[in-house]
Structure 1
Amino acid sequence: MSLRDIQRSKVYAAETFVRTIFDRAAETGLGPIDFFGEQITLPPEAKFSSVEAVQDYVDRVLELVGHRWPAPSVRVRARRGVTAAHYEPTSSTIAVPERQSRWALRELVVLHEIAHHLSSAAPAHGPEFTGTFCELAAAVMGPEAGHVLRVVYAKEGAR
């Protein structure tokens, strides 16, 4: 029996806002930004040109965090649809849209899918997932990325 994923829309809304924050910071040169009254400097976010580049990144991330989250390897594949990336737990596969839209070929989206791989608890977007994603982003991108995710999740009411 699976639990209802009641936080899903809150998690997606928070992450859309976080990606907008990163996009705006990149547009202005990645200097300090005002984030809810505090000045922080966000790290640059990696963007990928192909499924192969995403696969290389995923392999390196899993190697980097393997001491914290021992997990099997993940396969990355292209998917036909352009509306979402997703994680397939039965085959440990991340599917990303490669054609027509490259919105998913960015670090925050790929880390979201890796967090699904590292956090197998139900519901899929519950507190264990959000905690894993925040820790993962902090470990890979830097503490500022994890902080921004935590604050925006809280703002959106996601635990």
Structure 2
Amino acid sequence: MNRQWSGGTGLLVLALVGCDYFYDTTVPASDSTPPVAWAAVYHGGEHVAISSSNSGSALFFPIDDPDEYYLLIGAGTDDGGTKKVTFSHEFSRTCIQGNLGQNATGSFVPMVETQTGSVGATVSNGVWTGPTVRLRDYATCNSGWTLASVSYKWHVTAEDFHGNTKSHGWAEMRWVP
């Protein structure tokens, strides 16, 4: 499990994710079914947005306050155990000056969380990871330019113990002042 969180928030999230969505399972001898990849937003003690790779729709989460912190979650679940989750993420900022527009983007090193196991082992059906994000941290324009929008996007890929993979399309959290 991801242990990058400090203080009570991390423990609360670990307990919540573990109790609500994850359970122990045994890695089967064969498995041709891909896992389910999940994208979620956690804020104020609850999941405020959640979407799976099976839902067929992207997760889009507009926010009103760029100074609030949100935990963005990428997870995978599989009845035979999830081996790895990869959380790719980036930000995008658009600034305007009159009729001119300026877009800045930045990609981050993917976050990867894994668990060990093999056929017959008891493992968790799920694995998760993700950063705590505040959009204000990405909302600065050059002098003379006005912020039009800022967003944080993430893409989740889950892999099971037999190499089956499934991805959740890009999820997005956006603030428009």
Shorter-normalised TM-score: what interval?
Answer: under 0.3
- Structure with greater proportional strand content: 2
TM-score, scaled to structure 2: 0.26
Which structure dedicates a bigger proportion of its chain to helix? 1
TM-score by length of 1: 0.28
